[in-house]
Amino acid sequence: MPRKITRIGLIGFGQIGSDVYRRIEANPQTGMQVVFVADKDSNLLAELPRELVLDDLNDFEGRKPDLVIEMAHKDVAKHWAPLILTKCDMMVVSVTAIADRDNERMFKDLTREHGTRLFLPHGGVVGMDSLIECRDALDSVHVVMKKNPMNVDLELVNIDPQSITTETVLYDGPARDACSKFPRNVNTIAAIAYASLGLDETRATLIVNPQWNTATVALHATGPGLEMNIERIEQITGVTGATTPASMYNSIQSICNQEPGIHLR
């Protein structure tokens, strides 16, 4: 039986975007096809087939995508969602965009009005299904993120990462405020918060130490008769964990995969 091809547009072709593109292209049996790639840095797109490059996102509808994936920055998601969500589904990899209440309201209104969907990938979150299943039974959720300061974008808090010489707590408080201060670094925290108690009730702690060469996310959740402790330690390049691109691809597959067989997602 002929299978529907899921047509995918990619916004952002950095570490995550380029990896997702290669994985989709290497697995045509999934029924996924990249129909455009856009990035403000045209140099990143130089080796792509010219017919895939979309110079102006205002023209995205002409490529007839079923799903557009943002992998650039939360401001990119905010800017283009009002156009994209009127025409097709969208995945926002910059999950911190949801921490802005106006953005969240906009996303919800657009999807309801136009019958489209907005997806938030689980990214570096381990145990997302358990969080969602237990969210009504949880009393507290605390996420601790540990990184080398050179792997944290500190521009918005006006800190030179090289000035940090000892273990330092950069932030400890509601997840929503962490998202506004460190939008490129705490997408995992945003996803955990949104899946559990919400961005205001979830506590987030960001700790840096120049001696660390890995990234750690530790989740501590409690409720009546329930205690959940999950820790993930991985290599990191820039602000992106080693497993993040593969995780993003897995999330895309869970939406789009048309391959016959048994699928556990």
List pLDDT tens digits, range 148-158: 999 999 999 99
Query: Over 90: is that where the pLDDT of 3 sits?
Result: no
Q: Work out the percent of the chain whose per-residue pLDDT is above 70.
A: 93
Q: Describe the chain by its helix, strand, coil percentages, rounded to 5.
A: 40, 25, 35
Which is more confidently placed, 242 or 25? 25
Residue that wins the pLDDT comparison between 235 and 198 = 198
Instruction: Please give the Cα distance from 126 to 122 (Å, whole number).
Output: 8
To 10 degrees, what angle do helices 244-256 and 15-26 make?
A: 50
The closest of 140, 97, 105, 138 to 121, measured between CA atoms, is 97
Residue 75 has pLDDT above 80, yes or no: yes
Report pLDDT for 74.
93
Q: Is the pLDDT of residue 236 over 80?
A: no
Q: What is the pLDDT confidence band of residue 250, given thresholds at 50, 70 and 90?
A: confident
Residue 132 structure tokens: 């969602």
- What residue ranges in the chain does DSSP mark as E strands? 6-11, 32-38, 67-70, 89-92, 118-119, 140-147, 168-174, 203-208, 215-223, 226-234, 236-237, 240-241
For the chain, the average pLDDT equals 91
How far apart CA 218 and CA 125 sit, in angstroms, is 10
The owner of tokens 């953005």 is 103
Position 227: which residue type?
E
Q: In the structure, what pLDDT confidence band is assigned to residue 61 with cuts at 50, 70 and 90?
A: very high
The whole-model pTM stands at 0.89
How many angstroms separate the CA atoms of 216 and 231, rounded?
A: 7
pLDDT of residue 212: 95
On the question of pLDDT at 265 being above 70, the answer is no
Predicted pLDDT of residue 1: 39
Confidence grade of residue 245 (pLDDT, cut at 50, 70, 90): confident
In sequence order, the β-bridge partners of residue 10 are 37, 69
Q: Which of 11-20, 184-193, 251-260 bottoms out in mean pLDDT, i.e. has the lowest?
A: 251-260
Q: SS3 for 50?
A: helix
Q: What domains appear along the chain, each with residue ranges and CATH number?
A: 6-123+244-256 (3.40.50.720), 128-241 (3.30.360.10)
| pLDDT number for residue 125 | 78
Cα separation, 61 vs 87, whole angstroms? 7
For residues 107 and 79, what is the distance between their CA atoms, to the nearest angstrom?
Answer: 11
Q: What is the mean pLDDT of residues 176-196?
A: 94
Q: With the C-alpha atoms ordered 149, 150, 154, 158, is the resulting torsion angle positive or negative?
A: positive
Question: What is the pLDDT confidence band of residue 260, given thresholds at 50, 70 and 90?
Answer: low
